[in-house]
Structure 1
């Protein structure tokens, strides 16, 4: 029988419309008892209830609670949820873009905002008793994950931490680290989904269960088996396609058709007929999401009633009322609206936030029935569906196409099943001939998703740590990070290996007569000789190859040579030399009529050319008759030559040892007393085993040394670079941050040091507002292609801007050289891809002209309106930092004017 709730938890639970699950009760009870908590549970299980209880506790005690999320969209959503429950006067929002009631007792914010508060020692931290870190597993994110660890390490000791994570397999390890750095922490892990999830595969328009659930005996806990009906149908499908490929064409009809997957409208219609809508179809491409909606609009697919269309129109018109009429056309507003009226929508980061939020509102209200989304939707945004569809099990990570991991599969399919609405959720994978059901089953049943830290010191982090606590304390903090905690735990296994090796060494040493045994000394000598001989052989091979390449490069058309070995051995004539290559490969024809290119592997170069012969002006070496005639002429021309292959092999003396060190070592070995022992080889075999273990132990020790204090070493290298550049004064007993260093401490950007260098050197002074916005964009923008947009590919509007961009790039080049010298990860290269767009927008406020400016400047990087707004908001964020941190008053004023020029029209409306 469940124990009745009491105290604040009872009051909180009474306000909920559902009873608390056991894991929620356990976590909330621990929180009320003064513990920090880490909650790991599946998507949709209700983890946020624990975060909301922290809000309740803070309000009840008259204290503060900060609720942090990784992305602005999540912060906006959570702010709306809490405002509905507690009223707007008690809830604030800080996202960098928006500041609403920032002095409230409960403030929702992005994690970066809290990190910046901690470094600035903001007065808003006074009275803080709880911090909720939603989606804390985001600390594995390569680009922004370090922020989570900075916050966890810097929060005052008396603040209770509520960490909410998706299910990870190393929850205990993560919880152990939080407990080590934050004190008493309760780890609550729940793997139960409140809404069961059924796995399916769609083959054509037929829906099959992935697993044979009927054959599963819950008492045995055996792994589920793939459904035999699915396997039989796919085998039949493959055989039918194989037979179709072999059938002859029928006049006027061609061959029978090979399998084609169903179209997107057919997939949605099949799900609709099966009662499986609303559905989210994950497509790992923004363009693919938009194309899917267009494809459905070209079909007869309609998923809404007349009453639903009326409600949709009302919400769309309300949401978009403030968008400028002139921008609606370029935003494809009318096609987007038509899709919504038919119950269809895309959802991705390239959309205008206003459009995205409208889609979210309509989907949650049950008015949009089919959404085509990128994987960003899987990150915490509250848009659960009855069904999730995966079109492919491969996605592009920005560099290459990689298979989905079990963690990604679980995160995506976790959206299926709406708590309190659906009794079950459904995951559907679309089958194609290259997809194996066993592979899908492996993804659906694997439960190993370890959380790995991405924490590493940056310039801004380093300067703030030196300023706040000095290098010695900073070392201790870095050694307390989850990254170092994991590295140290990995070291435990290595150290055990070293200890095991040392025990074996002791046993072998005893057998040999001690670690200073003459047998070991003799065996080391033999190993030195072997290594020296191998090095000499490598050097000889390199010399021979170099000599052969030089000889090949010296050959001319008509030269007669000898190919010394291999299948082509014998006489040959050069048809086409290759003198200008580092690895020459001349075209030759042999006396046996073979024509092809040879390399240093075929030609030793020991014998120079034997002679020359005349060749026709044009040799058709692919023509058999031409090859025969030239081979005959070659044999005739060589008849009077002294050909080595016809003289027979000459065996001369081997090349004498010219390495005096090797001669000396061999002499020492022969004079060594062990050399004459009758059981020498038996003893040497034991000694060789000893030396192998000794070498393996040394390699393990190197790995231990590399893992131990690795973050502190990176930190020290950054301190040295910053000291050289004048951001840190290292002349005294304790390094101190200079005025330039304080400037760097206020710049929070991936290109933080480059921005600080640009500001203190004055290269951005004298620019007008649009020019400043453009040059700022170059240090933060990232083209979606493989490489940054080059200066030559982009139209730079003014000479002053071009000079500023060139000077910024020069600073980056100098910085990159310093980073290479100090073995520090290189700063990102400036990217000019957004320069024309933001300059045109700041100058005119014309969205059409701004987007056309990008296409005219670099058509390889098309920019959607949503991306345009997103980058504008990042430019605004960095301009705001420039307005606060720049040492020049005129530059600060220009930055404020640039902010006003950008924050207008669709950028001002589309806050999100």
Structure 2
């Protein structure tokens, strides 16, 4: 990898967790700083961006490092910039990248993500040809295909660094409620015995005892990372296990109490009180619904080896370098928003890869719990034997991409760019699909007045600086519609566009005054079905103005605190995008003051 960087080549590093991939990123950053060049490090999630920013601050100092996420901008002219991949994509599309040496894509396998995968592809396609890439992932089965694509469209050498052997090998076993920790073959053997159900007086298959995490916890070697695919299950299981322990660690107790009282009193939150109860016993939970400061407490104690059992959702496996001796799985199926389905081999090995601590463990233990009711030997065998899932294009042509293509390129250049997608590279006939989508979007944008005579109109230019909900935001804020909207109405309108309720989420109270009625009347043709969110969200958004205290605002709904912070952060992100699009001074002031109010609300608990 170092030789490749010295030759100014791009590199794709496919190597297991703990094998030193981050050293490649560290080397290129050191080299860039010494040579006075710029490097961008991108991460798939904000939490990982924040963690990397803190790491780089310690290494290089605050003058050299900057952070850009949807709701936060720190030192944007720094030599080393940490940002979410979406921010980098936005820069690339608008041709805002100058004098960049390397861009590092951590967790490049996110290109497979159905919702967001296109962001990684667009980031590579729209990057200037002078930029070089470092793509990092634990496993890329089709690394040669991916490298060949980049070589073809960027006309420079892409080196492959592929390493399949783990420094700490994994031992995969399975937990069955009757057999204990065993092999998959042994479970199949027992599941196929005809007299089995008679022997245990089980008339139906679904009467077989469900595997119990408490029984497995007694058998595993610690520290143990226990993946669950539900936040509630994480908390419930951690609390159940804590009841089995009486001894507490006074040092942890003291550490947690101090952290909870440091600044904003976090002990007011139920999740904080629950953690305060179980952490001294060496047990914890970690998920995206927690306050950032609570996640930091858990991560710090886990890194110190003070936590023996950590129940976590899969977000813990993204980038955060916190291995354990044993990784357990509550199951191998998760809810995808519609139904329950099996996790992929890539997801399994992303989580399983956290087993085994380099320099400490001779092997890492991986133990999924098996529910015989859903047992399928071949499916589980395929899933847990090897990561066979290749990188596959999820390319979607966004409206902002189309508008920027029209604004910056000739038709001939546009055809070349569209042909450069990984989607087309993987299957030549896909080019016609992309061209069709492009021309359909052009027709739509012509019809609604964003393009005229193959050039952007004022509305088209406004929308070209937005990267999500481009048309809706333009129709509200790129016209005169916003003039009758105060801060409350602006935040309510933007939040209504973003809000996607989780199962069981509730907002308490009602607020339906002439303000909300007027907003619904004005925005119904634009927001369409989303206009109903105005009525739903009004009590919550109004409480932000009325209370201006995060704990008090939380009382307006049953949202997890982390989800409320995420909603507010997304509103702030849209405001940042709008701020860069609008020219009207009054609107800029309203957006800026609204953004500042939201920032102060979540700053004290983030």
Does TM, normalized by the shorter one, top 0.5?
yes
Q: 2:89 aligns with which of 115, 137, 151?
A: 115
Query: SS of the counterpart of 1:45?
Result: coil
Q: What's the counterpart of residue 593 of structure 2?
A: 897
**1:433 pairs with 2:378:** no
1:269 aligned onto 2:218: yes
2:170 is matched with which residue? Answer: 197
Q: Based on CA coordinates, which of the two structures has the bigger radius of gyration?
A: 1
Could you tell me which residue of structure 1 aligns to residue 181 of structure 2?
Answer: 208
1:244 match:
200
Counterpart among 426, 445, 448 of residue 486 in structure 1 = 426
Residue 205 of structure 1 deviates from its aligned partner by 7.7
Unaligned runs of 5+ in 1: 1-26, 211-225, 248-256, 489-703, 817-827, 855-861
The 1:764–1:718 alpha-carbon spacing in structure 2 relative to 1, beyond 3 Å, is same
Structure 2 equivalent of residue 285 of structure 1: 230
Q: Is the 8 A contact 2:509 2:556 kept in 1?
A: no
Instruction: Tell me, in whole angstroms, the C-alpha distance in 2 between the residues paired with 1:172 and 1:418.
Output: 30
For residue 349 of structure 1, the aligned residue among 288, 295, 306 is 288
Check 1:185–1:830 CA distance in 2 against 1; reply closer, same or farther (3 A cut).
farther
CA contact (8 A) 1:196 1:423 kept: yes
**1:452–1:795 Cα change, 3 Å:** farther
Aligned counterpart, 2:327: 388
Alignment of 1:545-694 (within 5 A): none
Distance 1:344 1:81, change over 3 A: same
Residue in 2 aligned with 1:321? Answer: 262
Q: Distance in 2 between matches of 1:35 and 1:829?
A: 50
Per the alignment, in what secondary structure is the counterpart of residue 67 of structure 1?
Answer: strand
Cα distance, 1:233 vs structure 2? 5.9
Q: Do structure 1's residue 837 and structure 2's residue 555 form an aligned pair? A: no
- CA 1:884 to 1:286, structure 2 compared with 1: closer, same or farther past 3 Å? same
SS of equivalent to 1:83: helix
Question: Partner of 2:450 in structure 1?
Answer: 727
For residue 867 of structure 1, what is the aligned residue in structure 2? 563
**Superposed, which structure 2 residues align to 1:294-313 within 5 Å?**
294-297=239-242, 299-301=243-245, 306=249, 309-311=250-252, 313=254
Map Cα deviations across residues 819-863 of structure 1 (whole Å, 9 max, x no partner): xxxxxxxxx887445443223113322445533433xxxxxxx41
What is the alpha-carbon distance in structure 2 between the residues aligned to residue 785 and residue 889 of structure 1? 40
Where 2:78 maps in the other structure, the secondary structure is coil
Residue aligning to 2:309? 370
Q: Which of 465, 476, 488 is matched with 1:746 structurally?
A: 465
Instruction: Flag structure 2 segments of 5+ consecutive residues without an equivalent.
Output: none
Please tell me whether the aligned partners of residues 349 and 866 of structure 1 are also in contact (alpha carbons under 8 angstroms): yes
Q: CA deviation at 1:158?
A: 1.9
Change (3 A) 1:317 1:712: farther
Tell me the residue number matched to 2:51: 77
Which residue in 1 is equivalent to 2:103? 131
Quote the Cα distance in structure 2 between the aligned partners of 1:68 and 1:389.
29
- Distance 1:806-1:164 versus aligned 2 partners, 3 A rule: farther
* Partner of residue 603, structure 2: 908
Equivalent-residue separation in structure 2 for 1:246 and 1:89 (angstroms): 68
How far is the alpha carbon of 1:294 from its aligned partner? 2.5
Are residues 1:59 and 2:33 paired? yes
Q: CA deviation at 1:143?
A: 2.0
Three-state SS of the structure 1 residue aligned to 2:321 is coil
For the residue of structure 2 that corresponds to 1:167, the secondary structure is coil
* CA shift in 2, pair 1:207/1:153, >3 Å: same
TM-score (norm 2): 0.91
Alignment CA distance shift 1:708-1:438 (3 Å) = closer
After TM superposition, give the deviation of residue 259 of structure 1 in Å.
4.6
Q: Distance in 2 between matches of 1:246 and 1:367?
A: 42
Instruction: Identify the residue that residue 859 of structure 1 maps to in structure 2.
Output: none
Q: 1:424-473: per-residue Cα shift (whole Å, max 9, x none)?
A: 11111213322245543332214421111111111111111211224432
> Against the structure 1 CA distance between its residues 362 and 97, is the aligned structure 2 distance closer, same or farther, given a 3 Å change threshold?
farther
Q: Which residue of 1 aligns with 2:383?
A: 443
Report the 3-state secondary structure (helix = DSSP H, G, I; strand = E; otherwise coil) of the residue aligned with 1:853: coil
The answer to whether the 8 A contact 1:75-1:110 is kept is yes
* Counterpart residue number, 2:525: 810
Q: 1:119 to 1:201 in 2, by over 3 A?
A: closer
**C-alpha distance in 2 between matches for 1:853 and 1:863:** 9
Whether the aligned pair in 2 keeps the contact of 1:265 and 1:301 (CA below 8 Å) is no
User: Is contact 1:780-1:831 (8 Å) kept?
Assistant: no
CA contact (8 A) 2:252 2:280 kept: no
Corresponding residue for 2:456?
737
> 1:271-316 deviations in whole A, cap 9, x for unaligned?
2xxxx1111111111121122222223x2225x763xx41463266
State the shift of 1:778 in Å.
0.7
- Residue 891 of structure 1 and its aligned partner are, at CA, apart by 3.0
Structure scoring higher RCO (CA < 8 A, sep ≥ 6) equals: 2
CA-to-partner distance for each residue in 1:102-130, whole Å, 9 max, x for gaps? Answer: 222112111122222234444xx443211
* Mapped partners of 2:253, 2:71: distance in 1: 28
| Structure 2 residue 66 is the aligned partner of structure 1 residue 92 | yes
CA contact (8 A) 1:132 1:163 kept: yes
User: 1:4 — aligned with what?
Assistant: none
- Does the 8 A contact of 1:836 with 1:850 survive in 2? no
Distance 2:59 2:458 in 1: 46
* SS in structure 1 at match of 2:161: strand
1:670 maps to none
Measured in 1, the distance between the counterparts of 2:302 and 2:138 equals: 23
Instruction: Supply the distance in 1 between the matched residues of 2:287 and 2:108 (Cα, whole angstroms).
Output: 22
CA contact (8 A) 1:205 1:266 kept: no
CA deviation digits over 1:118-169, x for unaligned, max 9?
34444xx443211111111112222222221222122222222111123122
Aligned residues: 601
**How far apart, in 1, do the equivalents of 2:179 and 2:446 lie?**
67
Higher alpha-carbon deviation: 148-157 or 841-850: 841-850
In structure 1, the residue matched to 2:131 is 159
Supply the distance in 1 between the matched residues of 2:102 and 2:346 (Cα, whole angstroms): 29
Provide the alpha-carbon RMSD of the alignment: 2.8
Counterpart of 2:52 in 1: which secondary structure? helix
Retained in 2: the 8 A contact 1:279–1:389?
yes
What SS class does the counterpart of residue 39 from structure 2 fall into?
A: strand
Residue pair 1:780, 1:830 contacting (<8 A) in 2 also: no
The CA deviation at 1:372 is 1.2
